[in-house]
């Protein structure tokens, strides 16, 4: 249980105490006063602006606990720092508000516990109560707390009487509220014959044990003198103050896994001594008696161990373990009840099965009689059926023989069809090869025609150049005789170029003749390929007529493979 949960329990009592009409809502003026007092005891700086803004007067009606929680969390609980305030003062504020309304001691002064002891029991109740609202303490925790108090007085608690009391209470099995618990203690039923002072000392002892604080003598580090200090033990630190009001903190001892506690012999006029050793310093202390020293050393050692294990405190750890044990007991109890229920169901199921078994036996006897009659009738039917089956078997044998003969004929026909299909597939492959050859021949012809066209273009270009040279020659002849001698050399050069061009023209013509010859050869190949295709078409047409059983061979001109004609026509059109 963290600090916020502890504070919320006490604040819940204060809030419900202000709810006079028990409607779950409190007036804003009362909440303002409560918030102001909480600021004071928790040592939080006052924020009147936020207080007035949250509880402004133009809001309608009183405020519920759900409406007060956002302000409480944001402006109060979120700002609380552990160790910055005195927890006892905070508890006293909440106790004062709730006790005025709910705590009703004996008016004749015959109460077993005093008002201050009732406050401490209220604090112990908050510590041991469940984390559910409204707050109750389960019977196991009630028994645990009463046993602690009785043990402190060396008295044994009568557990049977406590169980009887809890069973008589309307809500005793589910747990007691703090006011029911205080009424039970004040009734004196479990503390008969014990003086109030002894009860008060026992309550104080249990309170100090659970809260883990008290007076010890401590030896100073510099002056080496002994001073009485109020020590307060937390899971990770042992703090000491000038007095129990804890207004002036004198120092603290950080507890970790490296710390240890040792018992020291009596010296310097001090008895019941022990020390706390840390890595940097040794703190010497003295208790009032041996029992107090043992409690302090055990509590500090436990705090060191719990700090190493990452737990909060001994009593919180024990409370958690007791809660886990209760949950385990409840689970075992539920499992036992479930097992009992299951056994009961099994017993009922067993009885029902026995009844069904008797009915089945009777039905079995009736069935045996019917079975015998049915067996006799079935035997007769079986004999008749056997005779019928023999007749049908003979007919089936005859039908089987005829079907076997027919199957032989069908298999022979299928074998002929398979051979014909293989021949046609082979013929198709050859036809495909012939088509590929024809396509290749046409591609070669196209290539030769393209080369011929290119040579013709080159020849035409050469002729154009030759005509241009002739025109230039005529221009040179027309020129004057005076330039003839000068240009004679140029004419000779032009003549040489002309001769070379004529030679090139001759070469082009020779190449053209050679290309023409190649074209003629390609045409011959094309005609030869066409002849081959026609030949294969004739062969295929001969095989296209289907062969029927017992048919006479006739001239084949069509048949099941007439579908190849569109393919051949498409091939001829693509080649053209």
Where in the chain are the domains? 1-87+96-102
CA distances from 522 to 187, 420, 432, 531 (A): 134, 36, 20, 14
Distance CA 81, CA 44 (A): 9
Supply the pLDDT for residue 547.
57
21 Cβ contact partners less than 8 Å away, ≥ 6 residues apart: none
552 secondary structure, DSSP code: P
Distance CA 442, CA 448 (A): 10
Interstrand relation of 260-264 and 273-277 (parallel, antiparallel or unpaired): antiparallel
The residue among 196, 122, 120 whose CA lies nearest residue 153 is 196
Supply the pLDDT for residue 559.
43
Contact predicate 71/54, CB 8 Å: yes
Supply the pLDDT for residue 556.
40
9 Cβ contact partners less than 8 Å away, ≥ 6 residues apart: 126, 129, 135
| Percent of the chain whose predicted confidence (pLDDT) is above 90 | 1
Q: Which two tokens stand for residue 345?
A: 């169901």
Tens of pLDDT along 434-453? 889 989 988 988 899 898 88
The residue among 111, 99, 104, 168 whose CA lies nearest residue 139 is 168
CA distances from 416 to 421, 429, 543, 550, 552 (A): 9, 20, 13, 13, 15
Supply the pLDDT for residue 561.
43
Distance CA 538, CA 104 (A): 129
Tell if the pTM clears 0.85, that is, is over it: no
Supply the pLDDT for residue 171.
55
Rounded mean pLDDT of the chain? Answer: 80
Tens of pLDDT along 482-501? 777 777 788 888 888 888 88
Q: Which residues of 528-550 are buried (b: 16+ CB within 10 A; e: fewer)?
A: ebeebbeebbeebbebbbeeeee
Tens of pLDDT along 100-116? 888 877 666 567 778 88
Cα 16 to chain centroid distance, Å, stands at 42
Residue segments in the chain with a per-residue pLDDT below the cut of 70:
1-2, 51, 55-62, 83, 106-110, 169-174, 192-193, 209-215, 235, 310-323, 326, 545-576
């Amino acid at each position: 249980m963290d600090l916020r949960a502890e504070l919320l329990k006490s604040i819940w009592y204060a809030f419900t105490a202000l709810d006079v009409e028990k409607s779950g809502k409190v007036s804003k003026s009362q909440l303002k006063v409560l918030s102001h007092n909480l600021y004071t005891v928790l040592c939080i700086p006052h924020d009147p602006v936020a207080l007035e803004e949250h509880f402004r007067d133009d809001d309608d009606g009183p405020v519920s606990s759900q409406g007060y929680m956002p302000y409480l969390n944001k402006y109060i609980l979120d700002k609380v720092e552990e160790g910055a305030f005195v927890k006892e003062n905070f508890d006293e504020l909440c106790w004062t508000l709730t006790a005025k309304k709910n705590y009703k001691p004996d008016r004749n002064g015959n109460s077993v516990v005093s008002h201050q002891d009732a406050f401490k029991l209220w604090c112990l109740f908050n510590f041991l109560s469940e984390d559910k609202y409204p707050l109750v303490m389960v019977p196991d925790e009630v028994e645990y707390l009463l046993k602690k108090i009785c043990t402190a007085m060396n008295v044994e608690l009568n557990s049977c009487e406590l169980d009887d009391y809890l069973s008589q209470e309307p809500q005793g099995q589910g747990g007691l509220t703090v006011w029911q618990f205080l009424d039970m203690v004040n009734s004196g039923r479990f503390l008969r014959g014990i003086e109030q002072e002894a009860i008060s000392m026992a309550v104080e002892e249990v309170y100090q044990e659970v809260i883990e604080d008290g007076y010890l003598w401590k030896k100073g580090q510099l002056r080496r003198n002994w001073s009485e200090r109020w020590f307060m033990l937390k899971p990770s630190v042992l703090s000491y103050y000038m007095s129990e009001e804890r207004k002036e903190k004198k120092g603290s001892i950080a507890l970790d896994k490296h710390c240890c506690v040792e018992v020291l012999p009596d010296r310097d006029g001090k008895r019941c001594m022990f020390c706390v050793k840390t890595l940097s310093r040794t703190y010497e202390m003295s208790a009032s008696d041996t029992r107090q020293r043992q409690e302090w050393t055990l509590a500090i050692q436990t705090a060191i161990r719990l700090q190493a294990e990452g737990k909060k405190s001994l009593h919180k750890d024990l409370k958690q373990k007791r809660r886990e044990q209760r949950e385990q007991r409840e689970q075992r109890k539920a499992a036992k009840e479930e097992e009992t229920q299951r056994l009961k169901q099994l017993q009922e199921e067993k009885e029902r099965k026995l009844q069904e078994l008797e009915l089945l036996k009777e039905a079995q006897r009736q069935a045996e009689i019917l079975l015998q009659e049915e067996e006799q009738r079935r035997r007769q039917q079986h004999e008749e059926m056997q005779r019928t089956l023999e007749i049908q078997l003979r007919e089936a044998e005859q039908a089987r023989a005829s079907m076997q003969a027919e199957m032989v004929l069908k298999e022979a026909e299928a074998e002929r069809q398979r051979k014909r299909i293989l021949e046609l597939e082979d013929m198709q492959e050859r036809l495909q090869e012939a088509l590929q050859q024809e396509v290749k021949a046409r591609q070669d012809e196209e290539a030769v025609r393209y080369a011929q066209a290119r040579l013709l273009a080159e020849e035409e270009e050469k002729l154009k150049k030759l005509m241009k040279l002739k025109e230039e020659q005529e221009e040179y002849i027309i020129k004057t005789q005076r330039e003839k001698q000068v240009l004679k050399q140029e004419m000779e050069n032009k003549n040489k170029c002309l001769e070379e061009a004529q030679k090139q023209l001759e070469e082009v013509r020779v190449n053209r003749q050679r290309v023409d010859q190649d074209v003629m050869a390609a045409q011959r190949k094309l005609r030869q390929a066409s002849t081959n295709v026609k030949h294969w078409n004739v062969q295929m047409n001969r095989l296209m007529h289907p062969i029927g059983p017992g048919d006479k061979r006739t001239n084949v001109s069509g048949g099941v493979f007439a579908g190849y004609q569109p393919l051949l026509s498409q091939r001829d059109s693509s080649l053209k």
